[in-house]
Amino acid sequence: MTILKLISCTVDDDNVAAFTASQCAWQQLENCSGFLAQAGGWRADLNKLPLQNYAAPLHDKNINTAVVFGFWQSVEDVTAFMQTTHDQIFTTNHQGKTYQTCQVKYFEMLPTSSNLVVAHLNSEIISISHYVADLAQMA
């Protein structure tokens, strides 16, 4: 069954360009057994929309959320990647210095008739359409 690796990182404004540049190193994933695809973007921050948060102090840094979707053929494939290639790419691209927090969750893809829904390996359920809508707004 196809596995979704959902990565969410918070990045301050000063590190957006560095985080984005470091993402290019992950192109090496295409050489990993079981890797299917990866996509991502910046999640829209509703508080940054015009007229909603204009009174925020100017010295506060804005926090941005990067969302990355990685698709793998199986749990075994993504596990093998994490045990072998992941740390080499991560160390080489210095991405750890570009974000404040990083959350990773794994989901099994579940076929449905209306929406793309996935189930977390620990019984959490999400709908991909929520995240896809955020990414589409940025295109």
Mean pLDDT of the 90-99 span = 93
| Encoded tokens for 12 | 């301050």
Predicted pLDDT of residue 56: 42
pLDDT for res 90 = 93
The residue among 1 and 91 whose pLDDT is bigger is: 91
pLDDT band at 108 (very low <50, low <70, confident <90, very high): confident
Average pLDDT rounded to a whole number, residues 16-37: 93
For residue 1, the model assigns a pLDDT of 78
Residue type, 2: T
Gap between the Cα atoms of 4 and 31, Å rounded? 18
pLDDT at 134 over 50: no
Give the bridge partners for 12, in sequence order: 63
- Distance, in Å, from the CA atom of 97 to the CA atom of 12, rounded to the nearest integer, reads 11
- Is pLDDT of 129 > 80? no
Handedness of CA 111, 114, 120, 123 (dihedral sign): negative
Give every CB contact of residue 38 below 8 A, 6+ residues apart in sequence: 26, 29, 68, 69, 70, 71
Average pLDDT over all residues of the chain: 77
Residue 29 burial (10 A CB sphere; 0-12, 13-18, 19+): middle
Collapsing DSSP states into helix, strand and coil, what is residue 129?
A: helix
Confidence (pTM)? 0.73
Single-letter amino acid code for the residue at 91: T
The answer, yes or no, to whether residue 136 has pLDDT greater than 70, is no
Least confident of 32-36, 96-100, 105-109: 105-109
pLDDT tens for residues 40-66? 888 765 555 444 443 444 434 677 899
